[in-house]
Amino acid sequence: MSIEIVPLAETDIPGAVECVQKAFEDDPYFCWAFDDPSQFNKQRNAASLAAHFQYGLNCGCPISVAKVTRASSETKTNREIRLPPGSVVGVGWWYSPKAASTTQTWSVWAQEWILSFRQLLNNIRFFGRGGLNIRRYWIWKQVQHEAHISLWDDPRGYHFCNVLGVSSEVRGMGVGKKLMESVMDLADQEGMPCYLESSKGYPNVQIYEKMGFHLVKEIECADGPDVCKIYCMIRYPTFKI
């Protein structure tokens, strides 16, 4: 199977949404934040993800998708993989570094309002948040904010990997690494650090270590006895001669 890495286009959003939904269905943070499976509304969640992708595109975030270019079959651990051309099998979404001293631009501010408005319309259209436990969402936001304050000591900011997801059919084939590479290479050229968070310790910590990240902190989002652990990792620039 042949896979290309291309910048996300608006027409890729539905495929990217489906890919992320599948890649994260067993993700510990996802299961913690959507704690009642009977309340989960997949369409509401898709609408929210689509609004976020649109926001990312409008803000000029580096978002890449891995797409199947040729319909051929390939064997992976004796399993036939058949995916039609154009299928999105991976998504990598980064935020560019923002220096601590810079203020938010008016265009990003406007996009945040548009995103909030879209989410409000989604709440009306789907009668709620589709099973997202709002209390847990805000616990996560607060814990994440505190982690950034304690870990982000580079005043130039960090390339922040917001989402990385690869379809299970093509995992372990180098797709995730390719989705990370363009930004990691840029970071190396600029001498800038990269940062990510993963709620899946195994095997992700190992996978990201292979890409040059180091585990710097384990944080916990606790809602009573239900705790979601998050692994914070930093990649320092590699200087290539």
Ligand X SMILES: CC(C)(COP(=O)(O)OP(=O)(O)OC[C@H]1O[C@@H](n2cnc3c(N)ncnc32)[C@H](O)[C@@H]1OP(=O)(O)O)[C@@H](O)C(=O)NCCC(=O)NCCS
Residues that bind ligand X (CB under 6 A): 23-24, 27, 164-166, 171-177, 196, 198, 200, 203-204, 206-207, 210
Name the residue nearer to ligand X (CB basis): 13 or 20.
20
Alpha-carbon distance of 238 to 186, in angstroms, equals 11
Q: Annotate 14-77 with three-state secondary structure.
A: HHHHHHHHHHCCCCHHHHHHCCCHHHCCHHHHHHHHHHHHHHHHHCCCCEEEEEEEECCCEEEC
Whole-number minimum distance, CB 207 to ligand X, in Å?
Answer: 4
Tell me 155's DSSP state.
Answer: T
Report residue 230 as tokens.
Answer: 């998050």
Whole-number minimum distance, CB 54 to ligand X, in Å?
Answer: 21
Whole-number minimum distance, CB 163 to ligand X, in Å?
Answer: 7
Strand-pair partners of 94: 161
Name the residue nearer to ligand X (CB basis): 106 or 202.
202
Name the residue nearer to ligand X (CB basis): 108 or 151.
151
Whole-number minimum distance, CB 92 to ligand X, in Å?
Answer: 8
Name the residue nearer to ligand X (CB basis): 23 or 122.
23
